[in-house]
Amino acid sequence: MPDFKNINIRLLTINLVVLIIAFLVNDPAHLFESTYAQSPRLLKFRTQSEISEITINAPGNPQLILKKSESGWSVQTSGQDKDYPADNRIEKALETLMDLHKYYEVTSNEKKYAEYEINDDALMVELKGSGKTEQLLIGKPGSGFNTSLARIKGEKTVYSVKGNLKSDWNQNMDYFRNKRLFQFSRENIQSISVQGPVWYTLKNSDDKKWLLTSGNMEVEANLIRTDRLLDDICLMEGSEFNNSGQTGFVYGSIKVELKSNTGFTLSINRNGNDYLVKSEFNPYWQKISEYRIKALFPPMDELKAKPGQ
């Protein structure tokens, strides 16, 4: 008579081993963080400061070139004369690259490259600087999209590394462009003049309070609502660049005067259901969410100080 108890124990043991192996294959970095960090680095570059130029070759997309100068990173497409200021997405993406390690070797069999989407024509990030050049090929993401397959061009070994590298680098130029409308802090603002669905001016008075004026009215401003408005303006950025060429009609404007006696204007247009904005800091029309625009033109009563404030 078969010993069903021993058979069940063996089956459970086999299933447990299979589950452990599958888990290690799909997500090694999260189980052995310390081991991953202690393994050899994948790239020759050790810090972001060594890198001064990045070229991105993505199948089906124009080549992108990112360059670093004293004023920061800029981005352009190959063959394009104009470059645009880039945002901090580059630093964040580079930080991930600096933490790639040769921990989990997937394959060195070139016949597997096509299956893993990591042939020589795969998504490639070329890094230059400090007299070094390195080309990183990026293949399939892991099943949880928190790991990626990667190999150095010219080398055979494919590694599973931390990070969704395709999400970081398989992007168009607008993804890397700086979308911030202003580059000053709220502490430097002296006054804000708003024209549009409502007209008003907020001015920082000598006693650290804000005054609200509209027409012949001048009253103390609601500090909580004013603080929120200042944050909305200083942190404002578009959601995407408007490349349609259609800019619609003027909806309103906001002029910001700084304590240094310099002024900057935010222009706001409406094109159908889209709101478009640009400023002297970023003079390219961008789409922006309707709720962000509406927050700039609140009812006048919201801006007035409440009794006892």
3-state secondary structure 42-97: CCCCCCHHHCCEEEEECCCCCCEEEEEECCEEEEEECCCCCCEEECCHHHHHHHHH
0.85 surpassed by pTM: no
Residue indicated by tokens 């801006």: 303
Instruction: Look at the alpha carbons of 166, 172, 173, 177 in this order and tell me if their dihedral is positive or negative.
Output: negative
Q: Are 239 and 287 in contact (CB under 8 A)?
A: yes
* pLDDT (tens place) for every residue of the chain, 309 residues total: 555 556 566 667 666 655 654 555 455 545 545 688 889 999 999 999 999 999 999 998 899 999 999 989 999 988 777 889 999 999 999 999 999 999 999 999 999 999 999 999 999 999 999 999 999 999 999 878 899 999 999 999 999 999 999 999 999 999 999 999 999 999 999 999 999 999 999 999 877 799 999 999 999 999 999 999 999 999 999 999 999 999 999 999 999 999 999 999 999 999 999 999 999 999 999 999 999 999 999 999 999 998 765
What spatial distance separates the first Cα and last Cα of the chain, rounded to whole Å?
A: 87
The domain spans of the chain are 29-176, 186-303
The tokens for 165 are: 């590298």
